[in-house]
Structure 1
Amino acid sequence: MSELEIVQWAAPAAQALVGAMMGDVWGSVRDRFTGILSRRTESASDVAEELEESRQRLLDAEGDEETQTEVMAEWRSRFRRVLTQNPALLEEVRELLSEFKEDKLAQQKYHVEQHVKTSGGMVFNLGSGTQNNSVPRS
């Protein structure tokens, strides 16, 4: 599996995770996310505790976009590491996203805003829903 393919799945997985944490579906997906993310050297109980800490942080922030962005970045990195170390988990991530995106996560309302700057490089922006992209002229 290429690094690009890993990035393409880690970002929406983190986005779905954060959306679930902030919504009513958390109880039904928490164990699935824990199972995927604990396939590294960490114990499932440690991962579950970290997930709950992140969820509480989001709930305490009451929709603060900066907090959402930080939590999403943390878990996107975790998904990247897990998928890099165990590429076979990609199919499980795909299944999880497919199941909950249509069913439950689509019902949740969350907002993600990304601000990216580059100087002579390439930027990959992956997401779902309405995306508005602009490129300022130099």
Structure 2
Amino acid sequence: MDGIDVSQWAVSAAQALIAAMTTDLWAGARDRFAGLLSRRPDSVDEVAEELDEARQQLLDAGVTEEATEETSAEWGSRFRRALTRDPSLVDEIRKILAQQNMEAPAASGGLTQNVSATGGGIVFNQGTGTQTNQVHTK
């Protein structure tokens, strides 16, 4: 996927969804997102209904940061599952992001983290992508 993690695409798609939920152009955006997230053509209406419910909950909450994060996390997970199932959905997400004048996620280079613990402690790190962990004891 152009060196970009599925999770990055899912986050971008969820951000685009949240942005669309708060505009007057919601109906058209909802249909695109429902089509993207539906596993079967006969489930598009069901997903569109779920999206409308999520939008209403977000609006009822006043589009607060907490409500936005909660909605984004919920739908980000669904986008992640859809992208894992069908990586070609990235093309549709890319189009949606362009339509909303939002940037697509950028490929990132490698990341190295060096951590240490003292006093017999243990350190655990978690990230995304391929990880190699090495344990050195002294």
Q: Percent sequence identity over matched residues?
A: 49
Q: CA deviation at 1:39?
A: 3.1
Residues 67-92 of structure 1, C-alpha deviations (whole Å, 9 max, x = no match): 11111000000000000001111111
Q: What TM-score comes out, normalization by structure 2 length?
A: 0.68
Paired residue total: 108
**Aligned counterpart, 1:121:** 125
Q: CA deviation at 1:122?
A: 4.9
Distance (Å, rounded) in 2 between the aligned partners of 1:43 and 1:67: 26
Matched, 1:38 2:38: yes
Q: Greater helix share, 1 or 2?
A: 1
Ranges of 4+ aligned residues in structure 1 off by more than 6 Å: none
- Retained in 2: the 8 A contact 1:40–1:85? no
Unaligned runs of 5+ in 1: 103-118, 125-138
Unaligned runs of 5+ in 2: 103-122, 129-138
* Cα 1:38–1:30 shift into 2, 3 Å: same
Matched, 1:8 2:8: yes
* Cα 1:58–1:75 shift into 2, 3 Å: same
Q: What TM-score comes out, normalization by structure 1 length?
A: 0.68
Q: CA deviation at 1:22?
A: 1.4
Q: CA deviation at 1:14?
A: 0.1
